[in-house]
Each structure stands twice: as C-alpha cells, then as structure tokens.
Amino acid sequence: MRKVYFDSAATTQLRGEVIEQMQASLSEAYGNPSSTHSFGRSSKTLIEKARKTIAKYLNAHPSEIIFTSGGTEADNMILKSAVRDLGVKTIITSKIEHHAVLHTVEHLQTEYGIEVKYVVLDPDGTPNLEHLEWLLQSDPSKKLVSLMHVNNEIGNMIDIQAVSDVCKANDALLHSDAVQSIGHWEWDVQKTKVDFLAAAAHKFHGPKGIGFAYIRKDSGLKSLIYGGEQERGYRAGTESTHNIIGLETSFTLAYDNLDEERDYVRGIKRYFIDKIKEAFPDAGFNGSCEDCEKSTYTLVNVRLPLSPEKSQILLFHLDINGIACSKGSACQSGSSMGSHVLSSILNTEELEKPSIRFSFSKFNDKEDVDYVVKVLEDFAKS
C-alpha cells in the first residue's frame, strides 16, 4: 500500500542533514552550556552560533532570539509578560488564531481583567484592517495586537506589513504567531516592525520540542520560568543543545533553498487543486487557500460534497489507505468540537460537509496527489 504524508502543517519530516547534525551533537557536544570548562564552552559556542544564524536571516540582533520549547511556549511567554510586565490592558486578536493564543488570552482576561477585542473577519477569513484600525483608536489603553501571519487551518496570509504599519501608527505592540510562516516565508524585522514572533522548528523539517521567540530589544518582557539566567534571563533551564543545532540546521536549509522548494511545493498544491476540481466539481475551498497569491503554498483546506454517512468515516478511510491528513489543527484532534476556524467563516450548510486539510512539503510529488484523489474518488462512488 502506498503511504502518503499530507499533514506537514501538523509536523514535518526531518531532513537527513538535520538528523546527522543532531546525532553528532549528541555524542560530542554534551557539556552543560552554563559550565565554564571546555566542554561547556563548546556547547555554549554552538548555541550562540545558532542564535546568530537565525538573527542574520531575520535581520534581527542575536540577543533578540530566545530559544523555547516551541511556538506554544513562545506565545504564552510573550502574551503573559506583555500583560504582567508591560502594562498591556487590551489585546486585539481574531477568532481564528491558534489556541496557543486564544486560550492564553482567555486566561489573561480572567486573571488580569484585561479587555479582549476581536477583529472582524472578511468573508474569506482575513482580518479586516479597517476594523483593526478602528479598534486601535477606540480607546487610549495600552494595546497589543496578536495576529498570525499564516493561518494553520485554511492557509490565509495576512498583510503583515500593513498590520505592522497600522500598529506603529497607533502606538500598539504587535505579536505574530509565525509558526506556519517562519521557514516558508522571508522575514525582515527591521522593515516589518513586529515586536514579538513565535516559531517552531518542526514546521520546517526540524525537530519537535524546540523553537524560538523573537523579542525586540529593550521591550521590557520578562521570563515566566524562574531559575538560572539562561537565554539572557528570559528562560531558565539548561538549553537543549542538540535540538538548537537541529533548529539551526533546518532553518538554514529552509532559507538557503527557499525559492526552489517553494516553487516546487506550490506546483504540488496547484496540481492538487486542479485534480480535486476535476474529480469533485462541487468541492469548495475554505478561506483563501485556492488563491496561491493570498494563501501559503503549503496547504489546502477542501470541502468535499459527501453524504453525512460518508463524512463520518472519511478520515478513517484515508488512514487505512495510507494517507495522512487532518480535519484541522492536530492540536485539536482529541476534541469532539469542530474547527473554531471553520465555524467562524462557514455557514451551517457548508459546515455539514467534511472539510479536510491537506498540507504538502518537499518530500511529496504529483504521484502522491494522483493516489489521494483516486482514493477519494473511489470512496465517493462506493
């Protein structure tokens, strides 16, 4: 049976080069980076090299890159400290953010009594910039805007430069969950003046359990984890040297090969869309994912014209045929609730149809697409 992995928005396959570099570091760079002897200094040197590498690609200062366990921790650290330490009284976000943002904001509303405002969404699920500007000007409180660059379920891309400009014009802080963006799209934090970013290595062929927060210099943000002074005092705890090296390797390879791999994966996405349209003329595409100019090249969220009975077993049928994909965010796979993203943009009739997220990478090819579409066609006709 053919095996097809179309769930790279959930996590990606590791590059071989990443595995090699991590294995070497596990056997050779085992000193505690905080130790002053040569073994510790060697590990520390590798970590600082990785920090400088990432900063260079983002046009940031190395001190602005803080290693974390991933995007969720980075989001939590940024949002919680902004309220606790920076005096943020109002957070403006959208109802289709990742739950790492939405649940954190809900907690902050309960614990600190902050006001939470949600940007109106356009019909395709893109936050409305005019409404954002109105929200920023509606009261004089200190504000933080939190909007993801690339939506993890429908692939919509916001105009992050325009969002940055309106935030700066209204003296608001800007945080972006860039987990689906970093490693796939260029960032220049001197041009697009975000204050905070969150990233995770496993979204661009790196290891799980490692990511970073970009925290603009002199922001005033403080640590949520108490202990040692690692990560410039932002995050206590012994650094995971081998994971940081894996992050650096995958990050470097992602950006060094970005144009070539982006064109290739975009071709897979366009081919998939064309094949789905041929097989299912009545299929719908959620958000802006059908438009390669308005959405990321890495995923498609398709709504299939299937009966309720077939809808209930669709994912199971794909799985037993060796196909990995997702109803939405993998983080919600254990929940009985439907997608909060799709519930925000689809009507009742549309929500009754099964929506599946297929997400692609450099490890896929057109034969994978042909196989998946054939399995879907046979299932619909059975």
Active site residues: 331
75 HSE (CA, 13 A, CB side) = 25
Beta-carbon contacts of residue 21 (< 8 Å; ≥ 6 apart)? 245, 246, 249
Q: How far apart are CA 366 and CA 231, in angstroms?
A: 43
Q: How far apart are CA 208 and CA 265, in angstroms?
A: 22
Answer for the pair 169, 186: CB distance below 8 angstroms, yes or no: no
Inter-helix orientation angle 99-112/71-86, to 10°:
30
Answer for the pair 227, 237: CB distance below 8 angstroms, yes or no: yes
Q: Which of 249, 125, 245, 263 is nearest to 184 (CA)?
A: 263
Strands 299-303 and 284-285, how do they pair? antiparallel
